[in-house]
């Protein structure tokens, strides 16, 4: 294992107009890490994730992937080129799934491998089918997203991200839009990925997942990382008052 | 009640073919105008959404002028003014098709725009994260969804065009309304003639409008 982080947020700040959303946030994610980011809403978790997914440009700081800068405030040409080169190594799962409704489940999965990786169709289909078996949705291969439950849609979205064999997978509150009874099936898939050694950065409100599956928990509040601890340690012995107050909401 | 002797044979008899060739002309005008208006609409929409401010101003100004002046005035303008400005001769049929295409194009550009902007941002972000280029994302993700949303409004535009093409009568294009005006001038039977024309328009437009409504509902249900 190397000691270079797969992906690294380096002193990232983000402002939207007057609104300071992130303040010098640094976060390395090592291979096989499952980093869970928790914190109250509006704490900047999602914005941090979107910066790492290259959907937002940081106002300060940079995103570094395996030693190479892929996003900086000015986005000069070499950085843009580096970003293009690693684009599909960073997968993302969204809160609202964002499956493409005009394509069947299989078509959703093979679109990027076909167009971006220029993979032969037969190979892309074979990979997609294997992934559908993995998320237990092979029978929905030809269904359209609108026919699936939220939990099923999110599992397809995970499979779609995996089809590009990313080096790191970012989850943006992947279960928040789901009814409680549908969350479990998605969390099971995520847990399975973690056991298989997938590198993951998970923004979540699922404290159980952070505690039992995460290798590290990061607590964010008001655009800053307040506390960081290995898996369960954060929950058993939070060091800061802010973290304690946050965790109290989940006890009753 | 006044006593009136209906004489339907004056339209349905020997003059029926004369009227039907007018109807053919009406449908030809509507169909070719729809195609041209779809192209004009696309150009206006692209100008409207351009990153280049002068292009945007042109698109917006054009749309605003077209939408806020009467179609009849525009037709008269194309037919009588364009030839003076460019010292060319424009056939009345050409003038009608140009005028209607520009008019309808201004409305269709809005249809396109709402179709494109109606595609959720998240769908484009998903494409971006997976590495699709902006062009691939537009062609593969945005366009197919936008087109599906635009089809029923485009069909409604066709119905509108069938009705608007009757304005060609004013600049003597021999579509069905003009034919009716000519016929009633010779058979002195305006009641039968114009009633017949109204019925023909209704029999074409109403089923089309119904079919479009049904189609829209089906698309929404998906």
What residues of chain B lie within 8 A of the CB of A52, using their CB? none
pTM metric for this prediction: 0.81
- Residue of chain A whose Cα is closest to the Cα of B219: A102
Q: What is the CATH classification number for the domain harbouring A84?
A: 3.40.50.300
How confident is the model over B52-82, as pLDDT tens digits?
999 999 999 999 999 999 999 999 999 999 9
ipTM here = 0.92
pLDDT in tens, B91-112: 999 999 999 999 999 999 999 9
Contact B145 A101 (CB under 8 A): yes
- Whether A2 has a pLDDT exceeding 60, the answer reads no
Alpha-carbon separation of residue A43 from A17, A40, A48, A143, A203 (angstroms): 17, 6, 10, 37, 11
Domains of chain B are 15-221 (1.10.3720.10)
Residue A13 in any domain: the answer is: yes
The secondary structure of residue B5, as a DSSP letter, is: -
Cross-chain Cβ contact B131/A101 below 8 Å: no
Gap between the Cα atoms of B217 and B208, Å rounded: 14
pLDDT at B1: 58
pLDDT at A209: 93
Report yes or no: B131 and A112 within 8 Å, Cβ to Cβ: yes
Domains contained in chain A, number: 1
- Taking only the tens place, the pLDDT of each residue in A149-177 is 999 999 999 999 999 999 999 999 999 99
pLDDT > 70? residue A90: yes
Scanning A103-132 for CB atoms below 8 A from B yields 111-112, 115-116
Res B155: pLDDT: 87
Query: Does residue A224 lie within any of the structural domains?
Result: yes
Instruction: For chain A, give the secondary structure using H, E and C.
Output: CCCCCCEEEEEEEEEECCEEEEEEEEEEECCCCEEEEECCCCCCHHHHHHHHCCCCCCCEEEEEECCEEEECCCCCHHHHHHHHHHHHHEEEECCCCCCCCCCCHHHHHHHHHHHCCCCCHHHHHHHHHHHHHHCCCHHHCCCCHHHCCHHHHHHHHHHHHHCCCCCEEEEECCCCCCCHHHHHHHHHHHHHHHHCCCCEEEECCCHHHHHHCCCEEEEEECCEEEEEEECCHHHHCCCCHHHHHHHHCCCC
User: Using alpha carbons only, how large is chain A's radius of gyration in Å?
Assistant: 18
From chain B, pick out residues whose CB is under 8 angstroms from the CB of A51: none
- State how far the Cα of B46 lies from the Cα of B54, in Å rounded to an integer: 12
Structure tokens belonging to residue B33: 């105008």
Mean pLDDT along residues A118-132? 96
A12 inside domain:
yes
- Is A43 part of a structural domain of the chain? yes
Enumerate residues 63 to 102 of chain A having a beta carbon within 8 A of any beta carbon in chain B: 87-88, 90-92, 94, 96, 98-102
Residue A2 lies inside a defined structural domain of this protein: no
| Chain A residues near residue B125 by CB distance under 8 angstroms | 55, 94, 98
Across the range A35-59, mean pLDDT stands at 94
Tokens 């945007």 locate to B56
Residue B39: predicted pLDDT: 93
Regions of chain B with pLDDT less than 50: none
Judged by CB atoms closer than 8 Å, whether chains meet at A164 and B136 is answered as no
Residue range(s) defining the domain that contains residue A211: 7-248
SS3 B84: helix
Question: CA–CA separation, A178 vs A150, rounded Å?
Answer: 6
User: What is the rounded average pLDDT for all residues in chain A?
Assistant: 93
Q: Does residue A1 lie within any of the structural domains? A: no
Which residue is it, tokens 């340690």? A233
What pLDDT shows up at residue B147?
85
Q: How far is B150 from chain A (nearest CA, A)?
A: 14
User: Is residue A149 in a domain?
Assistant: yes
Averaged pLDDT, A46-53: 96
A161–chain B Cβ distance below 8 A for any pair: yes
């Amino acid at each position: 294992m190397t000691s270079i982080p797969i992906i690294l947020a380096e002193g990232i700040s983000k402002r939207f107009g007057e609104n300071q959303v992130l303040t010098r946030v640094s976060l390395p994610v090592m291979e096989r890490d499952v980093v869970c980011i928790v914190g109250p809403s509006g704490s900047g978790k999602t914005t941090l994730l979107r910066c790492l997914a290259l959907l937002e440009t940081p106002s300060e700081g940079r995103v570094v992937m395996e030693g190479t800068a892929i996003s900086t405030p000015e986005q000069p040409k070499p950085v843009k080129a580096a970003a293009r080169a690693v684009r599909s190594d960073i997968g993302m799962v969204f809160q609202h799934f964002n499956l493409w409704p005009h394509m069947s489940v299989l078509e959703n999965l093979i679109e990027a491998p076909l167009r971006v990786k220029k993979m032969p169709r037969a190979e892309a289909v074979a990979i997609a089918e294997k992934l559908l078996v993995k998320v237990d949705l092979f029978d929905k291969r030809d269904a359209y997203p609108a026919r699936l439950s939220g939990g099923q849609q999110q599992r397809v979205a995970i499979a779609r991200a995996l089809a590009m064999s990313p080096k790191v997978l970012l989850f943006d509150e992947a279960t928040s839009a789901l009814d409680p009874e549908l969350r479990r099936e998605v969390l099971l898939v995520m847990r399975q990925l973690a056991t298989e050694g997938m590198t993951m950065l998970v923004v979540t409100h699922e404290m159980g997942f952070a505690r039992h599956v995460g290798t590290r928990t990061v607590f964010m509040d008001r655009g800053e990382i307040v506390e960081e601890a290995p898996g369960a340690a954060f929950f058993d012995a939070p060091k800061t008052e802010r973290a304690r107050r946050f965790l109290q909401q989940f006890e009753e | 009640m006044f006593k009136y002797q209906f004489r339907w044979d004056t339209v349905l008899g020997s003059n029926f073919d004369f009227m039907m060739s007018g109807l053919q002309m009406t449908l030809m005008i509507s169909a070719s105008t729809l195609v041209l208006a779809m192209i004009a609409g696309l150009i206006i929409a692209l100008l409207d959404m351009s990153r280049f401010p002068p292009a945007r101003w042109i698109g917006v100004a054009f749309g605003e002028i077209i939408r806020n002046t009467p179609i009849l005035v525009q037709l008269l303008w194309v037919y009588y003014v364009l030839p003076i400005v460019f010292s060319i001769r424009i056939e009345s049929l050409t003038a009608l098709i140009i005028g209607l295409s520009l008019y309808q194009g201004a409305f269709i550009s809005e249809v396109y725009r709402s179709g494109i902007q109606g595609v959720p941002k998240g769908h484009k972000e998903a494409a971006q994260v997976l590495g699709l280029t902006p062009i691939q994302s537009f062609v593969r993700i945005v366009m197919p969804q936008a087109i599906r949303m635009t089809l029923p409004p485009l069909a409604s535009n066709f119905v509108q065009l069938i009705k608007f093409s009757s304005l060609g009568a004013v600049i003597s294009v021999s579509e069905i309304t003009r034919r009716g005006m000519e016929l009633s001038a010779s058979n002195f039977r305006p009641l039968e003639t114009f009633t017949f024309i109204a019925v023909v328009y209704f029999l074409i437009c109403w089923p089309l409008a119904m079919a479009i409504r049904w189609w829209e509902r089906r698309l929404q249900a998906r």
